Amino acid sequence: MSQNKNINLGYINLFNTHIIPVKFNYHAPQTLEEALNLLNKLKDKARVIAGGTDLIVDMKLRRKEPEHVVSLNKIRELDYITVDSLGVKIGAIVKLRKIEKEKIIRERFPALYEALKSMASIQVRNMGTMVGNICNASPAADTAPPLLIYNATLTAKSLNNERKIPIEEFFKAPGKTALKEDELVTEIFIPYPPQDSHSTFLKITRVGMDLSKVSIAVLTKFNGSIIEDIRIALGAVAPTPLRIRRAEEFLKNKPLTEENLKIVQEIVAKEIKPITDVRSTEWYRREVAKVLVKDALMKCLEEEGGR
C-alpha cells in the first residue's frame, strides 16, 4: 500500500510457503502393492497420508516428525464405495464428503450420515477420509461411534497378509490402534443394520465446527414396546471410543420406560471415564453423556412411533 522505493517488490517470499518445518521424503505409489512394499521396507519410519487433515497439523506442530510420508492419494483402486446385499464397502481414500453425499448412507446408516454431516467444515470434509478419521484414533473421532454401533469391520493389509479387524477391537489408546507398522487399512465394511431398526448420532461441541466434548451413536430395534436389539457407543468420554455393553445388556428385552432410562443413564455415567481438559470438565461430560443417552434413545423411540 505504501511506496517503498528502496525495496524490491518483485518477488514473493517463497520461503513462507513452507508450512511444515521438518524435512521428509514423500512417496506417492500408484498401486496398493507398491504402497505395501514401501511400508514393509520403511516400517515405523513412515506415516501414511490420505486427506492429511490430521497428519499435516501434527507435522506442522512437530508432534509427528516422520522421515517418510507415504501418500495413498494416487492409488485409484482404493477410491470406491461399493454396495451389495450385505452392506457397504468404502475404500481408504474416499473423502468424507463423498460418503456423506451417498444416498445409501443417508438412507440406511443415518447415525453415520449425521456424524459425517457434523464434522468440521465442508472444506475439511472434502479433504479428510473416514479411514483416516478411524486410523488417527482420536477418542473424539466422530465417525467412530456410528461405525461401532453398525459393527463395521476393517480390512488391514500388509505385503504378505490380510486380516479383518472388528472396529471394536481396533482402538487401543489415544492415537494407538491394533494396526501393525507395515499394515494399511484398505477398506471399511459396514453391514446393514437389522431391518426396522433405528439409529442416530448426537454430539456436543463448544462451537459450530469443533471436536466433540461428548458424542453418541445409538441403534435400537423394537418389538412392540420391547427393545429387541440395542447398541450404544460414545466418543470423547474415555481413552478410546467405546461400546457400552453393560447398558445394552440391561436394556435388551425390556421396554423403554422412564425408570429403565434412568438406570441406563447411570450405567453409562459409570462406564465412561471422561477427563477434564481444555474442552470441558469431567463432571460436565458425565452429566451431558447422560442427557445424550436419553435424547438419542428418545429420538429412536419417536421414529419407532412414527413408523
Residue 11 or 103: the one with the smaller Cβ distance to another protein is 11
Q: Which of 85, 278, 305, 307 binds another protein (CB under 8 A)?
A: 278
Q: Which of 41, 253, 281, 302 binds another protein (CB under 8 A)?
A: 281
All residues at 6 or more sequence positions from 219 whose CB lies less than 8 Å from its CB, including other chains: 111, 149, 150, 193, 197, 198, 199, 229, 230, 231, 300
- Helix 282-306 vs helix 258-271: angle between axes, to the nearest 10 degrees? 140
Residue 206 or 252: the one with the smaller Cβ distance to another protein is 206
Residue 21 or 194: the one with the smaller Cβ distance to another protein is 21
* 280 contributes a contact to another protein by CB under 8 A: yes
Site string for another protein, 77-116 (x = CB under 8 A): ----------------------------------------
Q: Which of 7, 85, 224, 306 binds another protein (CB under 8 A)?
A: 7
Q: How far is CA 188 from the centre of its chain?
A: 11
Question: Angle CA(109)–CA(170)–CA(152) in degrees, nearest 5?
Answer: 20
* 305 contributes a contact to another protein by CB under 8 A: no
Q: How far is CA 263 from the centre of its chain?
A: 28
Query: CB of residue 279 vs another protein: minimum separation in angstroms?
Result: 7
* 16 contributes a contact to another protein by CB under 8 A: yes
- 3-state DSSP assignment of residue 38: helix
Backbone angles phi, psi at 190, to 5 degrees: -120, 110
* 160 contributes a contact to another protein by CB under 8 A: no
* 288 contributes a contact to another protein by CB under 8 A: yes
Residue 45 or 206: the one with the smaller Cβ distance to another protein is 206
C-alpha closest to that of 36 among 127, 162, 154: 162
CA–CA distance, 270 with 286 (Å, rounded to integer): 9
CA–CA distance, 179 with 122 (Å, rounded to integer): 29
Q: Which of 25, 30, 31, 121 binds another protein (CB under 8 A)?
A: 121
* 208 contributes a contact to another protein by CB under 8 A: yes
Query: CB of residue 305 vs another protein: minimum separation in angstroms?
Result: 16
Task: Count the Cβ atoms, other than its own, within 10 Å of residue 259.
Answer: 10
Residue 149 is placed in which grid cell? 454401533
Terminal-residue alpha carbon distance, the chain: 64
* 26 contributes a contact to another protein by CB under 8 A: no
Query: How many residues of this chain bind another protein (CB under 8 A)?
Result: 39
The residue ranges that bind another protein (CB under 8 A) are 1-4, 6-16, 18, 21, 23, 57, 61-62, 121, 204, 206-211, 278-281, 283-284, 287-288, 291, 295
